[in-house]
Amino acid sequence: MNAPLPPSLPARILRYIARELYMQVLIAVVLGILVGLVYPHFGKSLAPLGVGFIKLIQMIIAPIIFCTIVNGVASMGDLKRLGRVGFKTILYFEIVSTFALVIGLVVVNVLKPGAGFNIDASTLDPHVGQTFSAQAHSMNVTDFVLHIIPSTFFGAFATGELLQVLFVAILTAMALSGMGEAGKPALQAIESISKIFFGIIRIIVKAAPLGAFGAMAFTVGDYGVNSLNRLLIFMAEFYLTAGLFIVVVLGGVAHYCGFNIFRFLLYIKDELLLVVGTASSETALPGMLEKLERVGCPKATVGLVIPTGYSFNLDGTNIYMTMAAIFLAQATNTHLTLWHQLSLLLIAMISSKGACGVTGAGFVTLAATLTIVPEIPIASLALLVGIDRFMSDCRAVTNQIGNGVATIAISRWENEISKETLQANLRAGTEKSVAA
């Protein structure tokens, strides 16, 4: 009896594409770019596809983060351990975030991408600056702290404010931990509910290629390639700086923890492509949670570090903030002394907290920083509007990688996973993902 013929190469390629979400997203991104270039008006009309997909994800993110944190924190049981892991997490976030801010500051001062623009801020559209300044007006330290407290318990879920959800979730988890055995039924119920939300996410994510196609078609159709002009240089330098940060800083952390940063990037490639397609790191949150648990990080640590990182460990946003602020100063011939730049660094360390991975949040956070640094004209924000969607991709990807590395680093710091186990799980995960 003749053995069945192996499938042809085209059939194998189609089967691979049908199986791998990241390939579907990648193809959708390329098609979206082509549609935006060839049929710009039609491309702009596809904006609802991208916006709708992100809204679907945002709809479910708040309850997922709540359930994940409550399960993670309450599962620790020992509040002393929770305090220890929480302290290490915040300490790590602050150190790495500061590195990101400093690297952005150094690179933009060395390369000077804004020099020679000679922009007169009075000729720019003041409406843009006023709009984003109004959105960021309340982002001072006092209002920031008070804003963390929601008006009602369920108000945090209604508004989708991640910091408020984090606050409510941590209080709930601590209360359940203090209840001991009496709190276990409630904890089990929350764990069961979380499975429902993850099931919803698995359904929504199937539409990711459609969302990525619409988002990229709109971006290229609306702004075009030619409209980027000299701003392309600044954008390229930002991408280069983010890549340098990933390879040197995060790569150094990864090496110290016993794994290779490039193997890790290959391991989470599906999530990274999803982020590129939507310019929002929130869309890849469920996948990151599952993959970090699969690599060997305890559920409790993953449930604490990843959601917290979405508000407190935004490496890409930090790099962007210092680079963009100094770029605008250079472009408008605004002289900043060393003291001004150090003050900007300190302000950015505060204002960057809470800028979650939603598309455009980094731009609003930049506006918040500029409202506190009056030397840089707020109207100069108009220079960056056209390229912010492209910058948002890089910000979100860098944020995502940073939070993934942070979770593994905390797990290694807590001796929750050995170097050998981590390497074996990463190797197995990447080999499985690239197998035809």
Q: Helices marked H in 224-360 — which ranges?
A: 231-244, 251-257, 261-267, 269-278, 285-294, 299-312, 315-331, 338-351
The residue ranges of every structural domain in the chain are 18-434
Residue-level pLDDT at 191: 81
| % of the chain residues with pLDDT over 90 | 14
Determine whether 350 is exposed, middle or buried from the number of CB atoms within 10 Å of its CB (0-12, 13-18, 19+). Answer: middle
Residue with tokens 């992100």: 54
Please identify, in words, the CATH class of the domain defined by 18-434: mainly alpha
Alpha-carbon distances, residue 378 vs 30, 167, 386 (angstroms): 35, 32, 16
pLDDT tens for each residue of 341-352: 888 787 777 666
Residue-level pLDDT at 122: 63
Q: How far is 376 from 332, CA to CA, in rounded Å?
A: 8
pLDDT tens for each residue of 132-153: 445 545 455 566 677 778 888 8
Q: Give the residue with greater pLDDT, 121 vs 155.
A: 155
Mean pLDDT of 70-78: 68
With bands split at pLDDT 50, 70 and 90, how would you rate the model's confidence at 44?
Answer: confident
Distance of CA 175 to the CA centre of its chain: 29
Is 409 a residue whose pLDDT tops 90?
Answer: yes
pLDDT tens for each residue of 214-240: 877 886 777 665 545 566 788 889 999
Q: Find out whether 397 and 275 touch, Cβ atoms under 8 Å.
A: yes
Residue with tokens 């860098």: 398
Determine whether 279 is exposed, middle or buried from the number of CB atoms within 10 Å of its CB (0-12, 13-18, 19+). Answer: buried
Q: Which of 312, 298, 370, 309 shows the shortest CA–CA distance to 340? A: 370
Predicted TM-score (pTM) of the model is: 0.70
